[in-house]
Amino acid sequence: MRYNTKYEPQGYASRSEPGSARSGGVAGQAASLFSPGRRRNRSTSSRVSQLLLAGLLSLLLIAIAVLVWGLYALLSSSSTGGNQALHNSATFIAEHPQEAANEQQVLVLAQRYLTALLHHDYDTMWSLLAPARRALWPNEQTFAHFWQARFAHYTLQGFSLGLPSQLSHWIDPETMTSYSNTLTVPASLQLVPDATLSKAANVPPEDRHPASVYHNLPFIVEGSPSQGNEQPHWHVLSGGPADPEAPILPPPQPVARSIAVPILMYHHVSPAPTHNLLDFSLTVTPRTFAAQLDYLKSHGYHTITFNQLFNALYFDAPLPPHPIILTFDDGYEDVYRYAVPLLQAHGFSGMFYIITGFVGATGYMSWNEVRNLLAQGMQVGSHTVHHTSLGWIIIGDPQLTQQELQASQATLQQHLGIPIQQFCYPSGEPFRHGTPLEQARITTMLAADGYVGATTDPGPTGWLQQSTQPFALLRIRVDGRENLAEFIASLPSVS
């Protein structure tokens, strides 16, 4: 894209002086005609004037370009409400006129949607949603109730928008539906906690400084196919900071709520032969994995994201029938090769817990593969730097514990460009054999580091998730030795 400003240079006229060649006097003309020195001086003076004029015009062009860019950035990057124009005297020109029109549309749509959020105008937000996104809600009233609850402890002050761009495709992580005619613009929300949060003790950092995680979130729109000369009609697919998949801001005192959501735990998905009992138990063959997914699909299970789970636990958001979460520990390369294509074929998502110190090592995913997980609608969480068991070291070496929590989170955020809010305990400790004191210490650390939830490794098992235990989410271990009947028996019964 480029910015172009047209200008018309002003003309310059010279005044005639008495007695000069331009005055028309005979003597002056004769002197001009027969004096070589005068001709050379006049030629030199003319060239100097031309150079000065060219320099002035160059400075004028630079000043105009800076002014145009400044006006565009000012008008399109921020708003505190209202449907003000995104462009004023600055003219946006893309390489192709249709691209310019489309990019203008995403800016206008983002402006309207986020302005409606600031004004609590949930009717307008609802009307701008894509039909497929509205279908995830029972009705408009449930949608409005969710947003009232989501930001109940915050004052929304404004938002800012970056520059739009075309997406080759986008996959909705909540439905795993792929969209091709999409555009995105980074959107940031300015919001501050209310007095309830400001006065509360041990408030997590994302609650105290929410703007730090509500920064440059992708606002994504879809254009309906145009017919003839008609312009495409645009709908919101992801509302950026005003989207259910935006970072979770835990309420200071969540309502006690329990939801039946089985969270399955896998490690390897591979056809390679195993050589010991441990590997046998940790490895599910692709054929067995496909049979398990076939069962889940045929019995009406729907995979959900951890954001969907916490939105339901904290803000009473709706869930699809028979919600389930599939998790994969450690970041093995065989899972990327064999499990991900099967998940995609069934329209299922998955959470992949990454040991950041092992990325790129033999048998583990590379950073490109981890990034591709996100592009394919999957989720990524932290599994420490070195897969260090966090049992006894919480008390004996709290500094090492914090290093494992914080460094893994920071590395994932640096490589992926998203907030990392979910964690998985290596070997399930301290929730398998640890003391209540150790468990309390680790959950306090996780909350202080900006994590929102954490899953256990049975030990404790089950499928009932509780809003008051966000750092002890129960999982069901999928054992490579079990048959399909045993896998089915581990799940809650479905009607």
Is pLDDT at 236 greater than 90 in this prediction?
yes
pLDDT at 52: 64
The residue with greater pLDDT, 334 or 69, is: 334
The pLDDT tens digits for 256-308 are 999 999 999 999 999 999 989 999 999 999 999 999 999 999 999 999 999 99
Confidence of residue 227 (pLDDT cuts 50, 70, 90): low
Among 173-177, 225-229, 346-350, the minimum mean pLDDT is found in 225-229
At 324, list the tokens: 């389930």
pLDDT at 431: 94
Closest CA to 132 of 174, 102, 166, 169: 174
Whether the CB-CB separation of 266 and 326 falls below 8 Å is answered with yes
Rounded CA-CA distance 420/248 in Å is 10
Confidence of residue 229 (pLDDT cuts 50, 70, 90): low
At 470, list the tokens: 């966000």
Confidence of residue 485 (pLDDT cuts 50, 70, 90): very high
What is the identity of the amino acid at 436?
P
What percent of the chain has a predicted confidence (pLDDT) above 70? Answer: 78
- Residues 135-160, mean pLDDT to the nearest whole number: 96
Residue 219 three-state SS: strand
Rounded CA-CA distance 209/216 in Å is 15
Q: What is this structure's pTM? A: 0.80
The residue with greater pLDDT, 74 or 293, is: 293
Measured on CA atoms in the order 92, 95, 97, 100, is the torsion positive or negative? negative
Measured on CA atoms in the order 237, 421, 427, 429, is the torsion positive or negative? negative
Confidence of residue 426 (pLDDT cuts 50, 70, 90): very high
- DSSP-derived pairing of the beta strands 234-239 and 217-223: antiparallel
What is the identity of the amino acid at 133?
R
Whether the CB-CB separation of 143 and 116 falls below 8 Å is answered with no
The pLDDT tens digits for 360-390 are 999 999 999 999 999 999 999 999 999 999 9
- CA 349 from centre of chain: 17
The pLDDT tens digits for 100-113 are 777 888 899 999 99
Which residues are CB-contacts of 341 (< 8 A; sequence separation ≥ 6)?
Answer: none
Confidence of residue 493 (pLDDT cuts 50, 70, 90): confident
Rounded CA-CA distance 249/210 in Å is 8
- Sole residue written with tokens 């160059």: 58
DSSP H or E stretch at residue 322: none
pLDDT at 38: 46
Confidence of residue 212 (pLDDT cuts 50, 70, 90): very high
Is pLDDT at 463 greater than 80 in this prediction?
yes
Closest CA to 93 of 84, 103, 85: 103
Residue 35 three-state SS: coil
Whether the CB-CB separation of 107 and 161 falls below 8 Å is answered with yes
Q: Where are the beta strands (DSSP E) in 334-416?
A: 351-354, 379-382
Whether the CB-CB separation of 191 and 214 falls below 8 Å is answered with yes
Is pLDDT at 21 greater than 50 in this prediction?
no
The total of other beta-carbon atoms located within 10 Å of residue 76's CB is: 24
Is pLDDT at 9 greater than 70 in this prediction?
no
Confidence of residue 44 (pLDDT cuts 50, 70, 90): low
The pLDDT tens digits for 167-209 are 989 999 999 999 988 999 999 999 999 988 877 778 899 999 9
Q: Is 363 left (phi over 0), alpha (psi -120 to 50) or beta?
A: left
Closest CA to 456 of 421, 487, 427: 427
* Strand-pair partners of 325: 263
The residue with greater pLDDT, 313 or 93, is: 313
Confidence of residue 26 (pLDDT cuts 50, 70, 90): very low
Residue 400 three-state SS: helix
Is pLDDT at 401 greater than 70 in this prediction?
yes
Kindly report the backbone phi and psi dihedral angles of residue 140, in degrees, each rounded to the nearest multiple of 5, phi listed first. -65, -30
Rounded CA-CA distance 168/173 in Å is 16
CA angle 396, 437, 259 (to 5 degrees): 130
